[in-house]
Structure 1
Amino acid sequence: MATDADFAAHVLEQLAELGGMSTRRMFGEYALYRYGQVVGLLCDNQMFLKPTEAAQALLTEPAYGHPFPGARPHLLVNELLDDRESLAKLVRVTSENLPASAPRKPRKTHATKADGTTPVGRLPNLGPKSARMLADAGIRTLAELQALGAVRAYARIKATQPGASLNLLWALEGALTGSPWQTVAREHRASLLLALDSLSAPLAPNQ
């Protein structure tokens, strides 16, 4: 069940006095921001906040839930939706105690060190089928994939091959970061989907 626009509007109304709050629609759900940083998610008409020790300490009996299958547990705060003061305090403390985004680690290599000329089919997570899809989109080497990034590369493939699944997006991100695609799907799903959703139009092969 997707989140109603009215539910998202109600959450923002309850947090109006906090300042810096906004939402962004994402495949029927919403990401919740404070000053441009994601602090939580609105999924299935429920409000989830990223768990921090400071926020959990404010709750007598913290409740947890999963915004989507495979996601890490988040604080489930539906019971505070009608308590403006408590909700605002919880969101403020969450935003103030979230760690800054760490710089992306270089991709780890194993037996063969990859460089810009390495064919994409030799990268982690990417097999012959993925390599063919990338080649059809004009992406044949690591350097070409790095120049686009996982999201833009996936969008380019999706423009000509609508059947490409999100597993390919996870695989592309994993190929660039040296992470298993399952880890990417579990830990970076929301940020990748937000980035994908932000693209205004599918990319043509020469973009």
Structure 2
Amino acid sequence: MSTRVETIEFLTDQLSALPNIRTRSMFGEYGMYCDEKVVAFICDDTLFVKPTDAGREYLGTPDEAPAYPGSKLYFRIDGDRWEDREWLAGLIDCTAAALPAPKPKAPRKPKAASQAAPKREF
């Protein structure tokens, strides 16, 4: 089962108080960004927030689970908690604040000029 577009739209709307929220389709599911930092994944219509000390303090005793087979543990946020806009925005905001800034991407190297195959003479 994959995440429905309606789920992404709902979460994005619930987090509209945060100015720099966006989602991106990745590996058949979605990543959520805040201030260009990956703060969560949405997999199988479930929200998985990156674990941070600030998030753990905010949640108290978080429910931890892998976002996908073989992943590390994330804070799994039940759908009933999504209804509280302020609470959800607070969690995402404190998580983003605790995460390091993304590393700048290295400039792309220009592609080498293609080597034309030598012409054959017959």
TM-score w.r.t. structure 1 length?
Answer: 0.48
Residue of structure 2 equivalent to 1:10: 10
**Number of matched pairs:** 106
2:65 touches 2:76 (CA, 8 Å); kept in 1? Answer: yes
Where in structure 2 are the equivalents of 1:112-151 lying within 5 Å? none
Deviating above 4 A after TM superposition, structure 1's stretches of 4 or more consecutive aligned residues are: none
1:90 equivalent in alignment to 2:91: yes
- Higher RCO, Cα 8 Å, sep 6+: 2
- Counterpart CA distance in 1 for 2:102 and 2:72 is 17
Bigger proportion of residues as strand: 2
- Counterpart CA distance in 2 for 1:54 and 1:60 is 10
Where in structure 2 are the equivalents of 1:145-164 lying within 5 Å? none
- Counterpart CA distance in 2 for 1:99 and 1:36 is 10
Q: CA deviation at 1:99?
A: 2.4
Q: CA deviation at 1:102?
A: 6.2
Residue of structure 2 equivalent to 1:27: 27
1:76 equivalent in alignment to 2:76: yes
TM-score w.r.t. structure 2 length?
Answer: 0.79
- Counterpart CA distance in 2 for 1:63 and 1:88 is 18
* Paired residue type of 2:4: D
- Counterpart CA distance in 2 for 1:36 and 1:59 is 23
Residue of structure 2 equivalent to 1:37: 37
**CA RMSD between the two structures:** 1.8
* Paired residue type of 1:6: E
| Runs of at least 5 residues in structure 1 that lack an aligned partner in the other structure | 104-146, 149-205
Q: CA deviation at 1:73?
A: 0.3
- Counterpart CA distance in 2 for 1:71 and 1:27 is 13
- Deviation readout 1:166-195 (Å, 9 max, x if unpaired): xxxxxxxxxxxxxxxxxxxxxxxxxxxxxx
| Runs of at least 5 residues in structure 2 that lack an aligned partner in the other structure | 115-122
Matched position secondary structure for 1:58:
helix
